[in-house]
Amino acid sequence: MICAGIDAGSRTTKIVLLDADTLHVVAAAVVDQGVEQDAIAQTLLERLLHESGLDRSQVASIVATGYGRKLIHGAHETITEITCQARGVRQRVPDARTIIDIGGQDSKFLRLHENGTVADFVMNDRCAAGTGRFLELVAMRLGVRLASLGELAGKSQAPAMISSMCVVFAETEIIGLLASGVTTADIVAGVQASIAGRVAAMTGREVVSPIVLTGGVAMVPGMDAALHAALGQPLHVAPKPQLTCALGAAMLAKRRLDGRKTST
């Protein structure tokens, strides 16, 4: 039997297929989000099943999460991304106590109890200045690939100060820095430090280690180092950081399946 976790996020859809008996990840993938969120999720699910030699009838339990979770037809249960992210991270990093999740449109800070349940959390979904969208705008403005930002930041000699709290004004500030001769490397390093500073400000008080970084921004080289500097503590990038929430959803789909078996 297969358990599926579908993370219908704001920028991408992620699916993890889990073997219900072995808890082995059978297949996983990420695709760009669009207007027809359910159609995108269903197409991706069918593709993963086909590539794995599986049939839809073998999927015993589906949990949907993310912004678009209520749009996913066929899901047996919908669970918030906060709960799913905690479950997925603890599956990969069993002793994790803090999760920093930076996606395309929001950033989240989760503090976990010793048993892995969520103690409290803070989410910023109103300003793009602390999210991956800011990095995308910077890469576009500077005419560089998003994947090259980390390499550029590593060449910085004097990171620029990005003081604007709004991504629109920050973009204007970057244009001014370019006009004044500030190097691309120093601007990128300044932007990464700015994002890290905004995320660190969300924590509110002492951050408990181990700290795990997830989300698409976790794959941008240099962001872990920027957050390390902002927090004053080391952190780990989760294995396949874009998929941890979908993995957690799949694990909770397994829990649902076990509960159903117990009650029958």
Domain spanning 1-93+242-264 has what CATH number?
3.30.420.40
Q: What is the largest CA-CA distance in the chain?
A: 71
Provide the pLDDT for residue 2.
97
pLDDT higher than threshold 70 for residue 81: yes
Please name which of 208, 206, 204, 203 lies closest in space to residue 112, comparing C-alpha atoms. Answer: 208
- Calculate mean pLDDT across residues 196-219: 88
Of residues 86 and 127, more confidence is placed in: 86
- Rounded alpha-carbon distances, angstroms, from residue 246 to 8, 160, 193, 261: 9, 36, 28, 23
High-pLDDT (> 90) share of the chain, %: 61
What confidence category does residue 35 fall into, taking pLDDT thresholds of 50, 70 and 90? Answer: confident
List all residues 6 or more positions away from 45 whose beta carbon is below 8 Å from its beta carbon. Answer: 4, 6, 15, 56, 59
Domain limits of the chain?
A: 1-93+242-264, 96-237
Q: State pLDDT tens for residues 123-140.
A: 876 566 567 778 888 888
Q: State pLDDT tens for residues 51-69.
A: 999 999 999 999 999 999 9
Cβ atoms 241, 81 nearer than 8 A: no
What confidence category does residue 165 fall into, taking pLDDT thresholds of 50, 70 and 90? Answer: low
Domains 1-93+242-264 and 96-237 in one fold: yes
Rounded Cα gap, residues 241 and 219, in angstroms: 7
pLDDT higher than threshold 80 for residue 228: yes
Provide the pLDDT for residue 235.
94
Provide the pLDDT for residue 59.
97
Write out the H or E segment, with its range, that includes residue 213: strand 211-214
What pTM did the predictor assign? Answer: 0.89
- Calculate mean pLDDT across residues 96-120: 92
- For β-strands 77-78 and 59-65, DSSP reports them as parallel
Phi, psi angles (nearest 5°) of residue 172:
-65, -40
CATH superfamily of 96-237: ATPase, nucleotide binding domain (3.30.420.40)
pLDDT higher than threshold 90 for residue 113: yes
What confidence category does residue 247 fall into, taking pLDDT thresholds of 50, 70 and 90? Answer: very high
- Calculate mean pLDDT across residues 131-151: 82
pLDDT higher than threshold 90 for residue 72: yes
- Rounded alpha-carbon distances, angstroms, from residue 137 to 129, 131, 215: 10, 11, 17
- Calculate mean pLDDT across residues 141-158: 86
Rounded Cα gap, residues 95 and 70, in angstroms: 31
- Calculate mean pLDDT across residues 239-263: 89
pLDDT higher than threshold 70 for residue 33: yes
pLDDT higher than threshold 70 for residue 154: yes
pLDDT higher than threshold 50 for residue 264: no
| CA-atom Rg of the chain in angstroms | 19
Provide the pLDDT for residue 263.
45
Average pLDDT, the chain: 90
